[in-house]
A and B are shown apart, each in its own frame.
Chain A
Amino acid sequence: MTQGARTTPTAGEADESLIERFVRHRDLRALDEIIRRYTPRLRRLLATLLRGTPDEICDSEQEVFLTLVQNAHRFDNRSSFSTFFYALARNRVLDLLRSRKRYVNRHGTERSFDLVESHYTRPDRELLDEERKTRVRTALETLKPADRFLLYMKEVEDMSVRRLAEITGARENTIKSRLKRSRDRLAVELKDIHNE
Chain B
Amino acid sequence: MNKHSVKKELRWLAQQSESEVADRPPVTASTLVSVSKHEPSTLLPRIAAAALVAAAALGIFWQLERSARTPEEVPTSLTELVEALYRPAAENAYVAYEISPYFGAQPSEPDDFMGAVWREVSGSGK
Contact = CB atoms under 8 A, between A and B. Distances in A.
Interface string B16-40: 1110111010111111110110010
24 contacts: A28-B33, A31-B32, A35-B29, A36-B26, A43-B21, A43-B22, A43-B24, A44-B18, A47-B17, A47-B21, A54-B21, A54-B24, A57-B21, A58-B27, A62-B35, A69-B32, A69-B36, A140-B13, A155-B7, A155-B10, A156-B10, A186-B10, A191-B1, A193-B9
A57 B6 CA distance: 24
B24 to A, nearest CB: 5
Contacts of A183: 3, 6
Contact of B18 (A26, A32, A48, A190): A48
Secondary structure call for the A interface: helix
Interface residues of A, number: 40
B67 to A, nearest CB: 40
Interface residues of B, number: 30
A69 B31 CA distance: 11
Contacts of A43: 18, 21-22, 24
B1 A190 contact: yes
B10 to A, nearest CB: 5
A144 interface: no
B2 A187 contact: yes
